[in-house]
Structure 1
Amino acid sequence: MQTSRDRFLDVVRAGAILAVIAQHWVMPVLSYSDGHLATGNALATPGWWVVTWLSQVMPLVFFAGGAAGLISFRRAESTRTWLAGRIKRLMVPVLPLLAVWLVVPDFLRGLGVPPQPLQVGSAIAAQLLWFLAVYVLVVLLTPLMVAAHRRWGLKVPLVMGAAGVLVDVARFNDFGYIGYANAIFVWVAVHQLGFHYVEGRLGTLTRRGALALSAAGFGITALLVAFGPYPASMIGMPGAPVSNMSPPTVLLAFLAVGQIGLLLAFRPQLNALAARPGIGNALSWLGARFMSVYLWHMPALIVVAGVTVYGLGYETPEPGTLLWLVMAPAWFAVCGLVLLGLLRLFAHFEMQRDTGEITARTPQLVVAGLLVSGGLLGLAAHGFAPLSDGIAHGPVPWVVLATAGFLLAGKHIPVASLGTRYLGRAVAVSERAALKR
């Protein structure tokens, strides 16, 4: 069993978030004319789908999250305190993002930004919240999945993977919406693999075994792409009839096996890299701001695109051309500077240690997690529409839902006594009204 900090997991998490940023910043192909922002995806360039087999790293995020989650779960005083801590830790960095984007759309509208580019930017700012919505559900399931892991071992991710296959079969046979069930089956299966890194055979694989595992994962992925209904790209592409990501297909579980095996094969080298003082300091810096970096890297892109494309008339060169290759580093540098500025403003929320007393009981925490997940999922689906378009149909209900969940993850609320108290008051008011009549 692991008791000290696992630097390999730190490297995986850091590499994953950097890959997410790189992918999102390299993808946009933008131009603006007559009130319309044209958007494209550089990774839709013929042949570039192969990049997504490495750049689609959400499987690694869930894998590392599962491993880190099990380590922290073993150290927790109780399931209740662990759940509360996880929910609050995930939500605290989100709160400033919600506060900012509640007012930004109306501010930009007041500056004269046309509706279509405003809608695109407001939607993009909220899209990444899907991950947190799903991850909170995975967190809620973790105590049960840890118990299942310790009783049935590898059978658990295998069963989840088999369920994912059945979901895909139904999805590709005219039951499309059932595909969203794989947001649980696929990601929980990958999350379970993190458990097996901490308390199973994955953490003790030899290089040969890890490479064999990687070959099996990538090999099955390739076979399913070649002979199955799955697209070659591991991210959604404009105009594509099927996406491996939204909703996730079981292909991502096999991709996860390939990626995890590949990284495990070089685990000693990655640990040695993390042991270097400069790299270790960078990992610590990034680890303390992980969620803030994830949440604010797309707003940084929106700022840069807004100034250069909408404001200055810049157009993204054709992907793959010499001009595109020359401009890409400058694009990354400017986005990086803006992101650093945003982190200086907002990362301290994540870095503050929560000292509040947690008295909420487990059922209340489950409700809190469901509210958080539902609110964030609603925002991811609908975006941050201007409040001037109407409070009830905009982001406010979803923000209220997520914020209510965050507040419920703190102190215990005696629902039964509250209900009795308010019922008593209602009866008293009714009696007084009857006496007056």
Structure 2
Amino acid sequence: MAGITVDAGGIHIVNAMDEAEWFVPASWFVQVMPLFFIVGGFAGITQWRRMRDQGRSAFEFVRGRLERLARPALLAFAVVGAGLAVAGLAGAPADLLAQVGYRMGQPMWFLGVYLGVSALVPVLVRAHENAPLRTLGGLLALVLAVDVLASAAPAAGFANLAFVWLTVQQIGFCYADGWFRDRAWSAGGAAGALALLLVITAGGLYSANMYTNLNPPTVCLVLLGVAQICLVALAAPRLRRWLERPRPRECADAMGRCSLTVYLWHMPALVLLAAVLLVARAPWPEVFSAGWWLTRLPWIAGIALIVRAVAAVVGGVERRAAGAGAPSAGAAALGVLTAITGVVVVLVAGFTAVSAAVGAALLAASLGLVRPRPDALPARRSFALATRSA
């Protein structure tokens, strides 16, 4: 949660939870990123199997995923970059813009990682269908190996941006195949995962803060994901009955349609709201003071209203259907790598007018790369057949 302080030294943007000891146990409940990737894995395997059964190719699947993620991001990058450029020309302090750009760029790790793991769904579905336990175990072994290496060379831990989230996505494949239908198994799985997580964090092997375990990712997030999906499986009958009601179903469908828009625009919305309040010379209570807590609901409501307004304008970009046809294997791979590179530019440099322009250009290039040639519009069936289970 962002905290903004205003003092004689200027305006400062901080993570309000960095020094909050009470947030450590709370992080076990509010860290939902593993569950998000599990749901993504479930959706990915379901969509790919449907496309494969229709004789469509893996490269068409990759194109669809890339377009769904890169098109809305391209628009967001362009708008944020233009906004920062205008703010700079209007006289906003350079150090403040650097802070803002850094904070807005941090959440982009998810976009880069999700682009990569989504592109690997067809390959990993094949591995899952041929040897599910061996595939899951192999990925988990890689996660643990990276954790061990990171204890001596911390930078090595960032390899788990791939291995942790690929493992968690694979759990989504398992959920799709009914591994968690047995209630006793799910209850035992949740209890076992949480018990092991408690042991390794209480013993000092890992941080007990699940957000610290996010950067870089560790095996703790795999265990948390197992516990979360087991609990979801236990609650599934009640959740299904609840979602049969019209209003909850409408809300769930609406959230699904605009989830990426919310993700991409929540930080720009926060910055816009803060800018308006700063211009209006609104008071800024000290972080964690009574006044700060009293303003949290209005603050969150204000951000939500801005995001909703943005979604009404740009949400169609996310909902736009992917085009027909499949790119070549090389074009699909290069397109994904180009898109990831565009995101990494912003993640490393933070949002600036220049980095946003470079990132947007690379995202646009990635979309051009996966656009099939006119003579390649028929879906390639050969790869679809090759990725079927043996």
Q: For 1:190, give the aligned amino acid.
A: V
Q: CA deviation at 1:59?
A: 0.5
Q: CA deviation at 1:311?
A: 4.8
* 1:275 aligned residue (230, 239, 244): 244
Mark the runs of 5 or more structure 2 residues left unpaired by the alignment: 376-390
Q: For 2:200, give the aligned amino acid.
A: L
Counterparts of 1:313 and 1:305 in 2: how far apart (Å)?
Answer: 9
Corresponding position of 1:252: 221
Give the number of equivalent residue pairs: 370
Matches within 5 A, 1:22-421: 27-34=1-8, 36-43=10-17, 44-76=19-51, 77-173=56-152, 175-202=153-180, 204-206=181-183, 208-235=184-211, 243-309=212-278, 311-319=280-288, 321-354=289-322, 356-387=323-354, 394-412=355-373
- Specify which structure has the bigger relative contact order, considering alpha-carbon pairs within 8 angstroms and separated by 6 or more residues: 2
Counterparts of 1:368 and 1:129 in 2: how far apart (Å)?
Answer: 18
Q: CA deviation at 1:70?
A: 0.3
CA deviations on 1:100-148 (whole Å, 9 max, x unpaired) are 0221111011222111221122222232221111111112221111111
Relative to the length of structure 2, the TM-score reads 0.90
Q: For 2:348, give the aligned amino acid.
A: A
Q: Identity of aligned pairs, percent?
A: 28
Q: CA deviation at 1:61?
A: 1.0
Which range moves more in the overlay, 64-73 or 103-112? 103-112
Counterparts of 1:229 and 1:310 in 2: how far apart (Å)?
Answer: 46
Counterparts of 1:361 and 1:83 in 2: how far apart (Å)?
Answer: 11
Q: For 2:210, give the aligned amino acid.
A: M
Relative to the length of structure 1, the TM-score reads 0.80
Mark the runs of 5 or more structure 1 residues left unpaired by the alignment: 1-26, 236-242, 388-393, 415-437
Q: CA deviation at 1:53?
A: 0.9
* 3-state secondary structure, aligned to 1:280: helix
Check 1:211–1:324 CA distance in 2 against 1; reply closer, same or farther (3 A cut): farther
Check 1:372–1:138 CA distance in 2 against 1; reply closer, same or farther (3 A cut): same
Q: For 1:52, give the aligned amino acid.
A: S
* 3-state secondary structure, aligned to 2:120: helix
Counterparts of 1:121 and 1:232 in 2: how far apart (Å)?
Answer: 28
Q: For 1:411, give the aligned amino acid.
A: P
Q: For 2:20, give the aligned amino acid.
A: T
Counterparts of 1:159 and 1:74 in 2: how far apart (Å)?
Answer: 23
Counterparts of 1:97 and 1:49 in 2: how far apart (Å)?
Answer: 32
Could you list the runs of 4 or more consecutive aligned residues of structure 1 that deviate by over 6 angstroms after TM superposition?
none
CA deviations on 1:37-74 (whole Å, 9 max, x unpaired) are 22333333222211111211111111000000000001
Check 1:349–1:322 CA distance in 2 against 1; reply closer, same or farther (3 A cut): same
Check 1:381–1:187 CA distance in 2 against 1; reply closer, same or farther (3 A cut): same
Q: CA deviation at 1:368?
A: 0.5
* 3-state secondary structure, aligned to 1:161: helix
Counterparts of 2:142 and 2:226 in 1: how far apart (Å)?
Answer: 17
Q: For 1:380, give the aligned amino acid.
A: L
Counterparts of 1:270 and 1:34 in 2: how far apart (Å)?
Answer: 51
